[in-house]
């Protein structure tokens, strides 16, 4: 029999996770985008960040200030945004996490709304689950015939659809 403290709603699990971490999902998205851009272009500006994330520059400024106050970014008002070593390390992890989830979803045939699906999952996956998804991705790379068998199974077993 399940005890009361063993099961939570999705929101309950999100609140538990939030209590144990310092960054919100939105902060992670900002840091990941800054990392992507700085890696490719060397630096980031507020207006570019706001445009890439489809937010107002004032919202981007507030978030960048929060991330800077936590030691992830160096930012001067109206200046360029750069990553600290702490920000580079976390940004690298966030991008890697995104890529692992996206790669897994592609391998199981998700193409419609791939970015949205990836975003919804990546902020709620544990380190252990992420590690095992990455193992599965590597397994699929080493055994493409398994992926082909899965695709065949999906085509032939439409009765399994929810």
**Cα–Cα–Cα angle for 31, 32, 37, rounded to 5 degrees:** 95
Q: Does 8 map to a domain?
A: no
Q: Does 15 map to a domain?
A: no
> pLDDT below 70 — which residues of the chain?
1-21
- pLDDT at position 7, please? 54
Which residue, 67, 89, 111, sits at the end of a domain?
89
- pLDDT at position 18, please? 47
What is the residue whose two structure tokens read 């272009």?
A: 41
Looking at the fold, whether 100 and 117 belong to one and the same domain comes out as yes
Q: Model's pTM, two decimal places?
A: 0.82
Which CATH number do you get for residue 151?
A: 1.10.60.10
- pLDDT at position 11, please? 52
Which residues constitute the domain of residue 122? 95-160
Q: How far is CA 108 from the centre of its chain?
A: 18
- pLDDT at position 1, please? 47
Which residue, 69, 89, 109, sits at the end of a domain?
89
The tally of domains found in the chain comes to: 2
- pLDDT at position 20, please? 46
Looking at the fold, whether 81 and 107 belong to one and the same domain comes out as no
- pLDDT at position 10, please? 54
CA distances from 31 to 25, 67, 86, 95 (A): 10, 8, 11, 9
């Amino acid at each position: 029999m399940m005890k009361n403290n063993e099961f939570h709603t999705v929101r309950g699990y999100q609140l538990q996770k939030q209590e144990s971490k310092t960054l919100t999902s939105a902060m992670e998205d900002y840091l990941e985008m800054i990392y992507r851009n700085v890696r490719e272009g060397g630096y980031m500006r507020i207006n570019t960040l706001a445009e890439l994330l489809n937010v107002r520059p004032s919202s981007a400024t507030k978030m960048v200030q929060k991330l800077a106050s936590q030691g992830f970014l160096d930012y001067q008002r109206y200046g360029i945004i750069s990553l600290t070593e702490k920000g580079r390390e976390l940004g690298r992890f966030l991008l890697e996490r995104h890529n692992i989830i996206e790669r897994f979803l592609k391998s199981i045939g998700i193409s419609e709304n791939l970015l949205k699906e990836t975003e919804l999952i990546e902020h709620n996956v544990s380190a252990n689950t992420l590690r095992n998804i990455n193992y599965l991705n590597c397994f699929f790379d080493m055994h493409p015939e398994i992926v082909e068998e899965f695709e065949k199974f999906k085509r032939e077993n439409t009765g399994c659809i929810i």
